[in-house]
Chain A
Amino acid sequence: MSDTNDTTELLQALRQGDPGALDRLMPEVYDELHRIAHRELSRQGAGATLRTTGLIHEAYLKLVDQTRVAVDDRAHFLALAATAMRHIVIDYARSRATQKRGGSWQRISFDEALFGSDERLTEALELDEALTRLERFDERLSKVVECRYFGGLTVDETAVALGVGPRTVNRAWQKAKAWLYREIHEA
């Protein structure tokens, strides 16, 4: 069972600049997002679409002791959860790609319609790689993409998560997309 206090304390440690806190927080958040997503899915049935942002908010409510949390902690959490969500998606996309190459080890019976198509999968993988390069270039732009695309956060939520204004988020989002587009499509 996830320990509310642990997460809350880790967030506080993070706020106070403890670099180790992030490494310990990430698996917690990753696990919790997975659990909630799974629960929602088993409740709603196959074919359900989940609002990523909903998962993140729920994980937050579950993991963080609401009475002891600072506004900054919530911001950190949102940003962190978007990163965790990125890992979840990419881990999955990679394992799917492996399965495809490896043949019929695991019966692939998930609903293709849920996905749209494998295009989304490829898109996510390409994007992730490009994003990793963008990170080295301009961390803020890459964070915005993580929050918006992987975390499903709104512009306002992203602004909270990154501690900037919504206008800055909007502009960064537009620029990051242009950068990524070129990164992916140019030779």
Chain B
Amino acid sequence: MKPSGLDPERWRHIDEVFDAVLDRLPAEREVYLEKACAGDRELRAQVEALLDAYERTQGRFEEPVSPLSAAVVEYRDDLPLDRQVGPFRLLQEIGRGGMGVVYEAEDTRLGRRVALKALPPYLGVGREAKLRFQAEARAVSALDHPNIATLYETDETEEGQLYMVFAYYDGETLGARIARGPLPAKEAIEIAVGIAEGLGAAHRSRIIHRDVKPSNVLLSEGSGVKLLDFGVAKMAGDDLTGEGVRLGTAAYMSPEHARGWPLDERADLWSLGVVLYEMLTGARPFRGDDPPSVFHSILNEEPTPPASLQLEVPEAPERIVEKLLCKDPAGRYQGTEDLLADLRAVQAGGPPSVAVREPPPAWRPRIRRLAVLPLANLTGNPDQEHLVHGVHDALIAELGKVRALGVTSRTSVMRFRDTELPVPEIAGMLDVDAVVEGSVSRDGDRLAITTQLIGASPERHLWAETYRRGVEGVLDVAGQVARSIATELEITLSPSEGSRLGAARSVEPAGYEAYTMGLLYLERRSPEGHEQAQKYLRRAIELDPEFAPAYAMLAEAYGSAAFFGLVGPSDGLPIVRSLVEKALELDSTLAAAHTTLGAVRHFGDWDWEGAEASLRRAIALNPSYAYAYFMLADVLAVQRRYPEAMAAAERNRELERFVPFSAFGPVFVLIDMRDFDRAIERARSALEFFTNFWQGHWLLAQSFVGKGLYGQAVVEGEAAAERSGRTPMALGALGLVYALDGRREAAMGVLAELEGMAESIYVGSTNFAMIHAGLGDHDRAFDWLARAYKERDMALVHLGQDVFYDSLRPDPRFADLLQRMGLDGPPAGTG
């Protein structure tokens, strides 16, 4: 009995036993079956039959049907000549092209000759496609104009292959005519007039031809120019992914068509320009060996002036061609009327309106600021997230190497990860001109990385590409993307930029994966995240000891651990330094490594000059590397170079407007400048956005101390302490403001809390120093500052201006300390 004849309930039982049998070794199956079927002989027979079928089908159907599907779509648009198609009898083939085969045929009902065009069978597949086709055909058949071939009807064969029936005209196509050589200017203009008249009639009915080319223009004997195939391209559904487009069609496509942008009537005018050019010279203006190279030529190259190919071409038609072939539709004739006026003027021997050259209008808004949005993980596996992050990181790093571009930092764009906001809105929030979107999926053991560049205003697709590479090629792909986008945006790369973008080495896949895991954890910005990040990054180095970014990233991990107070600087900084030196030894072009080196020189060496040099080098290598500007602002502020510091902080904020530290960057500088009113204003407005950023309150506390408003300083100090989870840095400030506000007991309490913490974690000595200063115990304060000096507490670099130590400033010990640090000189605004 066939299994489908079974009762479903029964089947489930059989299936269960069958499953259990398959779980056992062949030798055990017999015994099991005996027991499981317990005398139910039919059950046993069914399971045994399945088992038998199972053995027979091992290896069967393993090959998917793909060869079959290839046959499915291998289309034959020929129809046999001996056959009747509906009422039509086919007489002979008279032409073939990308959109089907054309036959001379007889309409047996009327006894008249017609041209029957059989469309490729695949066009008719699907009900919606058919409806689209019929709608378009109805519109076209309503066109009644001497320069448009009349469409009588459309129908489909019994097998569903669509065909169109046109009036039959004797004559040859313009393509055949051009093949015999260029046409005299007078004749070319006459044909162009005919085409323009026909297009004009269609455009008035809002039909765009979309495929104007010599093989679609019939030079009929007696009845002039006839345009063929109106709207056929649209009925076919406009497949414009490149490879499917035939050369003969690609050569006539307008730039907007080649880009896949929406078309209007002016696209037909471009194509007519190509046809006119070809009539005059016998050559096509945009050439290439395959559609992509033709598209490249259309988008980027200016054609050779017709007269330099064909001496007899007079100047006037050349000007008309030039205007038709303006890459910006706005620079072309805006309709057939204008074009016809010029063509007729030339026919009459007069000058066309275009006799005077006009400068081409600026077309595309300049795109110089980009954001690379988080890539979609299409691997189908959330565990691959780190690789997707890695690719995203690499794209940002490579694009950042293009000096002319400003690329938003990774941290800023991460908030747009799962957004459904439209591109213009995202671009507005990030203040960029365009975004790069993309995805990463798995294609076997390769990654398929898709990227597209989308202009924001107006929203439009500018460029797209898919790369298929193994993990080892990720950096190389990112370099290619950066180069392609630079080309697309007409940015000329300097030789050094070019070589940096080309320098990507292939990576060791396992090492790279570990590296990207490190990246993922580092971004969590939590102590546990740091620990995991360090683990993975060390693993990455183990697996690929030559991979410079892993050293640089590990240096950053240690560095930020020190910055967040997770380790003491005297423990952390030497490690950071050695890692960063190793990274730069392997690859001296890493902006991140130069930046970290700058931070080490700033916080660890108090070598402001060296720090500035490192940071400026980082910025030269990657002008979009936001963190370098943040550090530079700090280095400059310490040196009291405030206007430059503000500029750097503002630049950093522009690049990272959704990173709280960056949003508050200018506030850090304003406090150093002692411009407390502006500091308060900026801090408060940034806090509206980043409500939980505790350093915002910490900065406000400093500002109020500077203004002598201790009560308000306490409010902010308490907010900072709470929101930070009572970290030492916030507690130091809190203890100080309590003391300044006269709440000595509370200040002592905080001091005790810090002392308790210091037993288990690193607590910077400056935190103790400032509370003692606030309590008026200068000796103790200076003791702690001496310790801070010795351990290179990172907060010490601001000692020159720090409001928290103002009570200590008159003491000669303070001046001595500043001098030893190289920070001597009066703070701005006080002296």
Given known contacts A66-B437, A115-B71, is B80 in contact with A175 (CB within 8 Å)? no
- Of the 9-residue stretches B3-11, B219-227, B796-804, B807-815, which lies at the interface with chain A? B3-11
* A115 CA / B69 CA spacing, docked (Å): 9
A183 touches B3 (CB 8 A): yes
A107 touches B76 (CB 8 A): yes
Given known contacts A30-B125, A106-B80, A175-B54, is B1 in contact with A92 (CB within 8 Å)? no
| List of A residues within 8 angstroms of B439 by Cβ | 61, 66-67
Query: Does B715 lie at the interface of the complex (its beta carbon under 8 Å from any beta carbon of A)?
Result: no
B437 touches A57 (CB 8 A): no
A92 touches B378 (CB 8 A): no
| List of B residues within 8 angstroms of A138 by Cβ | 11, 15
| List of B residues within 8 angstroms of A174 by Cβ | 22, 54, 57
Query: Does B725 lie at the interface of the complex (its beta carbon under 8 Å from any beta carbon of A)?
Result: no
A88 touches B69 (CB 8 A): yes
Query: Does B122 lie at the interface of the complex (its beta carbon under 8 Å from any beta carbon of A)?
Result: yes
A133 touches B66 (CB 8 A): no
* A172 CA / B53 CA spacing, docked (Å): 14
Q: Please give the number of chain A residues whose Cβ is less than 8 angstroms from any Cβ of chain B in the complex.
A: 86
Distance in Å: Cβ of A30 to nearest Cβ of chain B? 5
- Of the 9-residue stretches B107-115, B188-196, B233-241, which lies at the interface with chain A? B233-241
Distance in Å: Cβ of A14 to nearest Cβ of chain B? 17
A61 touches B70 (CB 8 A): no
Distance in Å: Cβ of B65 to nearest Cβ of chain A? 5
| List of A residues within 8 angstroms of B381 by Cβ | 160
B22 touches A171 (CB 8 A): yes
Query: Does B75 lie at the interface of the complex (its beta carbon under 8 Å from any beta carbon of A)?
Result: yes
Considering only residues 157-185 of chain A, those with a C-beta below 8 Å from chain B are 157, 160, 171, 174-175, 177-183, 185
A137 touches B8 (CB 8 A): yes
Query: Does B126 lie at the interface of the complex (its beta carbon under 8 Å from any beta carbon of A)?
Result: yes
Query: Does B341 lie at the interface of the complex (its beta carbon under 8 Å from any beta carbon of A)?
Result: no
B83 touches A120 (CB 8 A): no
B64 touches A150 (CB 8 A): yes
Query: Does A16 lie at the interface of the complex (its beta carbon under 8 Å from any beta carbon of B)?
Result: no
Closest chain B residue to A55, Cβ basis: B69
| List of A residues within 8 angstroms of B15 by Cβ | 138, 175
A178 touches B50 (CB 8 A): yes
Considering only residues 114-159 of chain A, those with a C-beta below 8 Å from chain B are 114-116, 120-121, 124, 127, 130, 133-134, 136-138, 145, 148-153, 157
Q: A133-B4, A174-B57, A187-B2 are in contact. List 19 more A-B contacts (CB 8 A).
A: A2-B237, A31-B126, A31-B129, A57-B443, A61-B441, A67-B376, A74-B378, A88-B125, A110-B76, A115-B68, A120-B67, A149-B65, A160-B381, A174-B54, A175-B15, A175-B54, A177-B61, A178-B57, A183-B3
Q: Which residues of A contact B (CB under 8 A)?
A: 1-2, 27-28, 30-31, 34-35, 37-43, 46, 48-55, 57, 60-62, 66-69, 71, 74-75, 85, 88-89, 91-93, 95, 98-99, 104-107, 109-111, 114-116, 120-121, 124, 127, 130, 133-134, 136-138, 145, 148-153, 157, 160, 171, 174-175, 177-183, 185-187
30 contacts between A and B (CB under 8 A): A27-B129, A31-B126, A38-B75, A40-B243, A42-B244, A43-B243, A43-B244, A50-B66, A53-B66, A54-B443, A57-B441, A61-B466, A66-B438, A66-B450, A69-B376, A92-B68, A92-B72, A99-B159, A107-B78, A124-B68, A127-B61, A138-B11, A178-B50, A178-B53, A178-B57, A182-B2, A182-B3, A182-B53, A183-B3, A186-B49
